[in-house]
Copies of this chain bind each other. A is one copy, B any other.
Amino acid sequence: MTNDPKNLVIIGGVAAGMKAAAKARRESPSLKITVITDDQFISYAGCGMPYYIGDVIKDSKKLILREPSYFKDMHNIDVLTRHRATAIDTRSKQVKVRELEKNRDLTFPYDKLIIATGAQPIVPPLPGVSLGNIFTLRTVKDALKIKACVDGGKVRNAVIVGGGLIGMEMVENLMLRGIRVTVVELLDQILSPLDRDMALLVQNHMVQKGVEIITSDGVKSFEGNGSGVVTTVITGKRQLQTDMVILSIGIKPNTKLAQEAGIEIGATRAIKVNERMETNIPDVYAVGDCAENIHLVTKKPAWIALGSTAAKMGRVAAVNATGGFDTFPGVVSALIVKVFELHVGKAGLSEREAVKEGFQVEATIYPAGDKAHYYPGTKEIIIKLIADRATKKLLGAEIVGEGTVDKRIDVIATALTFGATVDQVSKLDLAYAPPYAMAMDAIIVAANILGNKLSGRTVGILPHEVAERLERGEVLVLLDVRTESEYQNGHIKGCKHIPLDKLTARIQELDRSKEIVAYCRSGLRAAQAYRILRNAGFPNIKYMDGSILAWVYGLEK
């Protein structure tokens, strides 16, 4: 029976569940396939919902990819909506189900079971959290409620609690609807998958767009008016008047059903699965946001809930559950998000994550054009690359900018999948023509710069390291080698200014016994100054990676 299952039950009807159902049907024309979900909507595009609320996507129907009738008519798949799986008996191989509309209990036997119960938003148990106009955004129902609230025309101010990806997409989309938005984040930065230096680039852009961003401050409670609608967000440090709140502090995997059935939960608190999406219980698979993955950089379990991964996991489980063989080796945690004019992407580990994992980290920041510099419409991107000093392997990348980011993130994600060294990245044969890239693409140049640091050819220092050392009161000579007018326009407090073309002539103004950090606009002239001083015998000279373009800690005039 294992090789010829008659009866496949799938719990969950969004990305992973429906992908598994469709793939299982293609693998096996005769299998009975039943999808059980307590939602009334299935197969919807959760990632599109912020854009629906922002009226970028006009029609909610566009978010519903398929109806249950489609699956019945086209694929002979039974999709039971408003049916809640309440228990799994893995010995008798049955799922107990509550039919919500009729309020009765049903039992579904299975030969193979795929759990795709997804995840749910974390709702903090704060006073007032149940007030009206406090929303989470996860399901179609959530999106319809928020949209209706905004469409009502009475929302002037909104507070987003949490600075994650969905929250940042909501900021832009609410502002498109004419709403003033304040973000409250407990950490000292938004977009916590990114390093703080890169996140601050995004944060500064958002502030320029008129968003109020409050970091290092947590929500304590909510207060409402006589009608029970939220009016005030009380944080540790302030009170914010508001007409609407989006809680976006994170999600947690829905594992209760699995856990109660004796299915093993991993260290990440999601369901533990192997490469074939098998749980510890025979004939039971788990896929999508409720299940773990392997992080291909750390080789450790990771819980990274994304629609793209869910679909792939669903497919793999379906092949295995129908007697075939397929594996999903893991993820590199690639992400991309649009924040106003900025594209923000990451793949692999951030510098902070890499340090935490115990790697000996070397990193660089490189600001570059996304196309040939002479081609019209070329825009800037700022690339941070992170590598392991021991193996010289690339560990991750973060890229932020108005230029093309997603392309470079996908290249990095692919390189990380194959365990590429920094040197291998620098030798990639990427396609070149002026409308698309520089002759040496930005990530190739960034890899070359990082390679120079790894081999000891150059000694750079990241802006955040400079800022932290100045913060600690350490003595550093900051050498600004830009032109007079660039310097006048804003420079780092306390710097020494010698334009690059005067550096050789004025070299005696510098104290050889001091630690000197050269900076310019993007790092290019700083590296030249570095070489001039090194060749002149200065023993303790560094250049600042990314320089002013990556300096997010304020300038003085």
Contact = CB atoms under 8 A, between A and B. Distances in A.
Interface in A395-450: 404, 406-407, 409-411, 413-415, 417-418, 420, 424, 426-437, 439-441, 444, 448
A329 B420 CA distance: 14
Given A337-B433, A407-B407, A410-B430, 11 more contacts: A29-B531, A51-B375, A74-B528, A308-B440, A331-B429, A333-B429, A338-B433, A338-B435, A338-B436, A406-B436, A410-B410
A56 interface: yes
B414 A411 contact: yes
Interface in A311-325: 311-312, 315
A376 B57 contact: yes
Contacts of A74: 528
Contacts of A51: 375, 434
A411 B443 CA distance: 13
A356 interface: no
Nearest to A414: B414
A277 interface: no
A167 interface: no
A433 B372 contact: no
A48 B338 contact: no
Interface of A: 15, 26-27, 29, 45, 47-48, 51, 56-57, 62-63, 74, 165, 169, 296, 306-312, 315, 327-338, 343, 345-347, 372-376, 404, 406-407, 409-411, 413-415, 417-418, 420, 424, 426-437, 439-441, 444, 448, 457, 528, 531, 535
Given A407-B406, A531-B29, A413 B428 contact: yes
Closest 5 CB pairs of A and B: A418-B418, A336-B431, A308-B432, A407-B407, A62-B374
B439 A311 contact: yes
Given A334-B429, A417-B424, A308 B374 contact: no
Given A57-B374, A374-B63, A406 B429 contact: no
- Copies of this protein in the complex: 2
B531 A432 contact: no
A435 B74 CA distance: 29
Nearest to A27: B457
Nearest to A371: B406
A334 B528 contact: no
A429 B337 contact: no
Contacts of A307: 432, 439
Contacts of A29: 531, 535
Given A29-B531, A312-B440, A407-B410, A432 B372 contact: no
Contacts of A48: 372, 374-375, 434
B406 A47 contact: no
Contact of A439 (B308, B404, B413): B308
A309 B433 contact: no
Nearest to A29: B535
A350 to B, nearest CB: 15
Contacts of A328: 427
A544 B328 CA distance: 28
Given A331-B429, A413-B428, A45 B406 contact: no
Contacts of A413: 428-431
Contacts of A334: 429-432
Contacts of A310: 439
Contacts of A333: 429
A26 B376 CA distance: 31
Contacts of A420: 418
A226 to B, nearest CB: 39
Contacts of A309: 429
A448 to B, nearest CB: 7
A323 to B, nearest CB: 13
A336 B433 contact: yes
B427 A312 contact: yes
A441 B307 CA distance: 11
A78 B89 CA distance: 81
Nearest to A335: B431
Given A410-B407, A418-B418, A436-B336, A430 B308 contact: yes
B436 A47 contact: no
A375 B426 CA distance: 34
B411 A45 contact: no
